[in-house]
Amino acid sequence: MPVTEALDRITRATENEEFWDFDIFELEAATHKRPLTYLGLKIFARFGVCEVLKCSETMLRSWLQIIEANYHASNPYHNSTHSADVLHATAYFLCKERIKQILDPLDEIAALIAATVHDLDHPGRTNSFLCNAGRELAILYNDTAVLESHLAALAFQLTTRDDKCNIFKNMERDDYWTLHQSIIDMVLATEMTKHFEHVNKLVNSINKPLAALEEDGETGKNQEAIITMLRTPDNRSLIKRTLIKCADAISESGARISEEWFSQTDEEKRQDLPVVMSVFDRNTCSIPKSRISFIDYFITDMFAAWDAFVDLPELMQHLDNNFKYWKGLDEMKLRSLRPPPEQWATLPGALMLCPSSHLGFLRARAPWSFRPPVCRACKSTQGRRQPSVATI
């Protein structure tokens, strides 16, 4: 493909990055699996990152390239496409009115950088696997938040060891340490052992006091009290932790994450290690049941709390559609990602045509992701149900 044509495709793929229906897989294809650098440049420019950090765009590009190079392209899920997807969701949340009232530019930049690096050098294996296998990283970090500690440290090592990509080198010392601690705090929050602690804190420390203040009316005094309450250092940190946890949780999954966990189970059996996720045995796994359990156990309460704080009706509708899709497959007693073609149209939110009746436009992500289907021909996200279809 000619260079100009390739660049045009990348430009088209990133043109709607401000919206929820942004297509990360189209950017992955357009960039030959290097979406993080291109999306990062676009999003970081929109948030004025270079101006705040006092670094050049050339330096930012070098930094994004070295970070992306240290993601494992061989991982089905934990690769730079996942990182780019989380970065996009993070930027989307940062633009919500409630968030804009609370976080300052340094908070926003910390969130964007944390999203960019949050799975850097991920080996495609869980912390529990690394601990059970006695891997060097597990020993180094005392079996505690192994991957999150490693990748946070590696992100700063990669950044500061070469002036050509050290985006922090022109910052004031105090600003740098504030940013440094905020990035580490957000990355460590993606470790799942404290998931329920973070969600409960959001409900009890923010949502309940916020609801009590809002019940007293929308007076100027109350609004001032609300902003003051939300802008305390502890609450800002809690909001940033929840933001990146939600961005991470809604990244595309399904086939990719399942394959990565299948691979881990395969290796655990070969090495006679404890099987951490016995449900992810490729010979017996019901993917619909595993997704239903994940949504029930981790997603529903967290997003109910996040929606109550931020107000995300569109996202909550996609979550509901997602859950109904998996329930439909489970009720059909299917174990796969997709139903047989003849049953496709019977599922909630399954196959739709865009208003222009373009055929074959749905990506595999459509009903089983948290984003709406997008027409490949005209980029429409408004659809009507297709009554029957031969292939998908």
pLDDT digits (tens, 9 = 90+) for 306-335: 999 999 998 999 899 999 999 999 999 999
What are 181-207's pLDDT values in tens digits?
A: 999 999 999 999 999 999 999 999 999
Better pLDDT: 270 or 325: 270
What average pLDDT score do residues 254-278 get?
95
List binding-site positions for Zn(2+): 82, 118-119, 248
In the predicted structure, residue 380 carries a pLDDT above the cut 80: no
What average pLDDT score do residues 89-97 get?
97
The two structure tokens encoding residue 29: 């294809």
The structural domains of the chain, ordered by start, are: 1-195 (1.10.1300.10), 313-392 (no CATH)
Give the whole-angstrom CA distance, residue 320 versus residue 312: 12
Structure-token match 């109910």, residue found = 304
Indicate the range of 105-119, 228-242, 339-353, 362-376 predicted with least confidence: 362-376
Instruction: Identify whether the C-beta of residue 131 lies closer than 8 Å to the C-beta of residue 138.
Output: yes
Q: What is the predicted pLDDT for the residue at 253?
A: 65
> What are the residue numbers of the active site?
78
Indicate the range of 58-62, 221-225, 334-338, 365-369 predicted with least confidence: 365-369
Q: What is the pTM of this model?
A: 0.89
Pairing status of strand 352-353 against strand 384-385: antiparallel
User: Where are the alpha helices (H) located in the chain, listed in sequence order?
Assistant: 3-14, 24-30, 35-46, 49-53, 57-69, 80-94, 97-102, 105-117, 127-132, 136-140, 146-160, 173-189, 195-201, 208-215, 220-230, 233-249, 255-270, 287-294, 300-310, 313-331
DSSP 355: T
